[in-house]
Structure 1
């Protein structure tokens, strides 16, 4: 069986959408390849991409609630509650009530900090010129273009 992204499978994948496929379709195809590889990195640490996002947001934020995290990561509050519960059960996060009737503040445990440090190190190695095939200057330009594309798609404005 051929691995995804290699051999005959890669040839078929490259033809999906035809030779005139637009840039957004090519971005979708590329995102699938990247997601598979990111998933392998996260799997090695026993977490998912969204869980990594939660751990990172908690590590980088101040006194975040579950609702704050849901807004920051663009998910429904109910979905975030499930993710926070799972990460709390695994002892990567802790919740501290700030008082009666007040929100619970979510913080990273030592175990969560250690996991996040290891995952970030692996992602740093993964997100390199060796993996991407891009020179540092290409990476900077691509990053700027992706940021611009995201803003335009979010706000419905395609003006450059």
Structure 2
């Protein structure tokens, strides 16, 4: 009998890649956006007027990465940037109508995807995995 692979980091990387590429393909087909773009759009929807620095913190990304992401979303007409009312170098981000439409188009696919993963893991396995991933995501050495 072959022992299951115990290389946790490797398995998490492979699983993350598989999940991301699958959902990216599906979300691109239905909404024209990738999962990182969706993450940014959802964060702006949850906190209208968020700054790019706030978005970087919310997404766990460097500000330089968020600058490019916001630039692409703005060029695609999904986000708008406005001058911050009190910070002269900062901008605030808002969803456009097209950004809202992209989120609405993606939601059913995200729900389908989550249902498929839940079926694969079982309800208890899904909840335990989500809780474990949340703990790992917020782990501080």
Q: Which category describes the TM-score, using the shorter chain as reference length?
A: 0.7 to 0.9
Would you say 1:48 and 2:34 are equivalent positions?
A: yes
Superposition deviation, residue 20 in structure 1? 4.5
| TM-score scaled by length of structure 2 | 0.83
Q: Residue 59 of structure 1 contacts residue 108 of structure 1 at CA under 8 Å; is this kept in 2?
A: yes
Partner of 1:143: 130
Superposition deviation, residue 130 in structure 1? 6.7
Root-mean-square deviation over aligned CA pairs: 2.3
Q: Deviations over 1:76-126 (max 9, x none)?
A: 222212211221121111112244726321100111101111112211111
State the alpha-carbon separation in 2 of the partners of residues 99 and 150 from structure 1: 33
Of stretches 52-61 and 134-143 in structure 1, the one that deviates more from structure 2 is 134-143
Unaligned 5+ runs, structure 1: 1-14
Unaligned 5+ runs, structure 2: none
Higher Cα Rg, which structure: 1
Of stretches 46-55 and 107-116 in structure 1, the one that deviates more from structure 2 is 46-55
Determine which structure has greater relative contact order: mean sequence separation of CA pairs < 8 Å that are 6+ residues apart, divided by chain length: 2
**Is the partner of 1:127 in helix, strand or coil?**
helix
Q: Residue 32 of structure 2 contacts residue 102 of structure 2 at CA under 8 Å; is this kept in 1?
A: no
Number of residue pairs matched by the alignment: 138
Q: Deviations over 1:48-83 (max 9, x none)?
A: 221111101000114201111112112222221221
